[in-house]
Amino acid sequence: MKKLLVILCFTVFGLNLFAQDSQTPTVKNRVDLSLSVGKGTFSVAASGFRLHPVALKKKFYLGYGLRYTGFFGSNKNYITAPAEVSEGNFFKPQNKAKLDTITFATTQANSVNLNVHLAYAINPKLLIGFNIDAIGFSFGSPRGGILQSNGVLSSVQAEVSSFNILLTGDYDKGSLNSEFYGLYALNDKFSLKGGISFIFTEYTTYQKIASNFNNDTFRNKNLGLMLGVAYSL
* Residue-level pLDDT at 25: 59
The mean per-residue pLDDT over the stretch 112-116 comes to 98
Average pLDDT over residues 71-84: 96
Q: What is the pLDDT of residue 18?
A: 35
Q: How many domains does the chain have?
A: 1
In this model, does residue 30 exceed pLDDT 70? yes
Most confident among 12-16, 126-130, 149-153 (mean pLDDT) = 126-130
Average pLDDT over all residues of the chain = 90
Share of the chain above pLDDT 90, in %: 81
Higher pLDDT, 146 or 56: 146
Q: What pLDDT is stored for residue 7 in this prediction?
A: 40
pLDDT tens digits, residue range 172-202?
999 999 999 999 999 999 999 999 999 999 9
pLDDT-based confidence at residue 71 (cuts at 50, 70, 90):
very high
Whether the pLDDT of residue 12 is over 70: the answer is no
Cα Rg of the chain (Å, integer): 19
User: Is the pLDDT score of 93 beyond 70?
Assistant: yes
- CATH number at 42 reads 2.40.160
The domain in which residue 214 lies consists of 2-232
